[in-house]
Amino acid sequence: MTAFARLTSALAKRTLRDPAAVFFMLAFAPFYAVVMGLIFGNDPRPEFGGVGYVDANLVDFSAIVVAIAGLVLVPIDLVGQRETGALRRFRATPLRPIAYVAADLLVRWVIALVGIGLMIGVGVLGFGARPEGSLAGVLIMAALGTLVFLALGYALTAVVPTLGVAQLIGNVLVYPLIILSGATVPLALLPAGVQAAAQASPLTQLVVGLQGAWAGTPAWTPVVALTGVLAAATLVAARYFRWE
């Protein structure tokens, strides 16, 4: 096996052995879809413009997975590895540092997307959800959003000094972002000023993008906004990432 394949396999195994990672990245979204589906069903409702709850909200749940995977799990794991000296041990080998980052991103990206895929499967097969738009569009949007938030996680890892700060910032950021994204509480229920502010959040943009792709009303704004955040996060991570 090549170094990259071996590294990807080792990182995949250790990520899948982490109960928190498995729960939030793989199990949470399908589980949430089942619970919400059982509570609200998918019968057409006027407040959702004539579609059911699951059809109207299913893809939004991806935002929760993506935000936790990127902003909470990445910094805690990588700052932890930086503090114990695990990352430094790799520096003492011929492995190129970028290969480690690439393998780690790939593993997390695939696992989070599998979780989102399972969630959509639950919605479609379990509750009869049907996209007006395309499933491929939804998956592309989810793929972009996952990448953006993993990059944000790496940027956060680069700038936080200690594991404690990483945990604090991750948790302080992630819950308001989730609430403002419309993934849990419909944005329409929030005050107008808050709704406007929420548009500045990349997680809100992701939800808008996902909904557009699902409903067959795709928009370019979320794609442009998310690509910009991806570029900025990558720059910060590349500039400030520390191995020790």
Partner 1 sequence: MSDVVVCQDVVKAYGDRQVLRGVSFAVRPGEVFGMIGPNGAGKTTLMECIEGLRRHDGGAISVLGLDPQRQTRELRERTGVQLQSSALPTRITVREALELFASFYADPADPRTLLERLGLADKADTYVEKLSGGQRQRVFIALALVNRPEVVFLDELTTGLEPQARLAIWDVVRDIRDAGTTVFLTTHFMEEAERLCDRVAVLDRGRVVALDTVPGLVARLGAPTRLSFTVEGELPLARLEALPDVSRVRREGQRVTVHGSGERFPQEVVGVLSQAGVWAKDLETERASLEAVFLELTGREPAAEAA
Applying CB under 8 A, the residues found at the interface with partner 1 are: 1-3, 5-7, 10-11, 13-14, 17-18, 80-81, 84-86, 88-89, 91-95
- Residue 77 Cβ, how far from partner 1 at the closest point, in Å? 8
Based on CB atoms, which residue is closest to partner 1, 14 or 239? 14
**Dihedrals φ, ψ of 241, to 5°?**
-65, 135
**Concatenated DSSP letters of 206-219:** HHHHHHHHHHT---
Handedness of CA 179, 183, 189, 190 (dihedral sign): positive
- Residue 136 Cβ, how far from partner 1 at the closest point, in Å? 34
Q: Count CA within 13 A, CB hemisphere, residue 204.
A: 18
Q: Which residues contact 221 (CB under 8 A, 6 or more apart)?
A: 205, 208
Based on CB atoms, which residue is closest to partner 1, 7 or 225? 7
Based on CB atoms, which residue is closest to partner 1, 14 or 130? 14
- Residue 115 Cβ, how far from partner 1 at the closest point, in Å? 19
Element (H, E) at 183: none
Based on CB atoms, which residue is closest to partner 1, 153 or 222? 153
Based on CB atoms, which residue is closest to partner 1, 81 or 157? 81
- Residue 104 Cβ, how far from partner 1 at the closest point, in Å? 9
Q: Count CA within 13 A, CB hemisphere, residue 73.
A: 28
- Residue 36 Cβ, how far from partner 1 at the closest point, in Å? 32
Report the distance separating Cα 185 and Cα 183, nearest Å: 6
